[in-house]
Amino acid sequence: MGYLERIFTGYPMWKVDDDLREKTSSFPWVVTPQMALYRYGYQNIADRLSLPATHTLDHWVASRLPNCDVFVGLSQSGLYTIRAAKKRGIKTVCERSSSHIVAQNEILIEEHQRQNIPFKGIAQWAIEKELQEYAEADLIKVPSTFAYETFIQHQVPKQKLVIVPLGADLRLFHPLSKEDRTFRILYAGMMSARKGVVYLLQAMANVKYPDVETLLLGSILNEFRPALRKYAGAFRYGGVVPRAKLSWYYSQASVFVMPSVEEGLATVMAQAMACGVPVIATANSGAKDLFTNGVEGFIVPIRAPDAIQEKIQFLYENPIIREQMAHAALRRVQSMGGWDEHGKRAVEAFRTLLQN
């Protein structure tokens, strides 16, 4: 839209879109190895890199911040830059992609206990740094009503919050022909306690139709592998799939399921909808900001395998309604405008911030 002055990233330059590289500076020496470790399931090692990754990137950006009207920093990575920006009269935004960090920590501790998976909780330094960012930033940008409500519950003033839902790249995600008649339930994303995959697998344990398949795509955290092994034979694992190939996988699905117990807004839902696939998702996935319950899919409570099973069986037994939902999902995500609409709403929020 012509407003971007500079992007600072911990990812390597090859991950940056070609048309943005000229405006991008990369500091990949800590963040990139950390992300690779997460991707391949080495969460414990990756977690140890969190503090140096966020601190070094933050200090690096603070020392290089160009002249601008608004600085937007991803939560945990922007405190020192927020302080540097404010000294220069630059408005500051904390971009939080999930729920309030205290709410997130509480949910994750509870969920790991339920699934009997070891978890020490979010590091105290991370909680303290992020809370300081919430306090010092002029605006906190969140992607969903669910995330917004967790901030309200933790006494963050409404006037300091703005909801800007995430989108999908409509150039990359679009319907392709389904190549078989299998009723396929698809999950795509990292597999962990947080993502609620066990509740999908529990739901499918009682679905006995012969032509139904559950396909899981994405990396698996090592700590989650024992839980996944309990359901061996109940699903097919498709591994980690490049983004460029995801449209084909979405298009081979009959329904996409996002069973997360905590999320900001899972963009994979919008990607699936852009491929003409109805979605079953939890209230804590950000689904409310993407689609209407009963129109483009179904919104169910967290930790509710019975509800997931009921909706899957309904869609299986009512192919005409499923097809109507598929068309509605495609229309809905197209009407939302993908990332263009996200950009427009973000700029609108920044303009309002500058006027205050």
Residue type, 7: I
> Can you give the residue ranges of every domain in the chain?
7-167+339-355, 183-336
- Using a pLDDT cut of 70, give the percent of the chain over it: 100
- What pLDDT was estimated at residue 44? 81
Using alpha carbons, list the distances in angstroms from residue 92 to 73, 128, 165, 255. 8, 18, 19, 40
Q: How far apart are CA 273 and CA 337, in angstroms?
A: 13
User: Does residue 347 surpass a pLDDT of 90?
Assistant: yes
Residue-wise pLDDT for 124-150, tens only, equals 999 999 999 999 999 999 999 999 999
Question: For residue 235, what pLDDT band results from cuts at 50, 70 and 90?
Answer: very high
Fold type of domain 183-336: Rossmann fold (3.40.50)
Q: What is the pTM assigned to this prediction?
A: 0.94
Q: What is the pLDDT of residues 240-259, one digit of tens each?
A: 999 999 999 999 999 999 99
Q: How many whole angstroms from its chain centre is CA 250?
A: 17
The fold of 7-167+339-355 is Rossmann fold (3.40.50)
State the Cα torsion 99-4-171-17 to the nearest 10°. Answer: -100
Please say if the pLDDT value at position 41 is more than 90.
no
Which residue's structure tokens are 């698809």? 186
Q: What is the pLDDT of residue 203?
A: 96
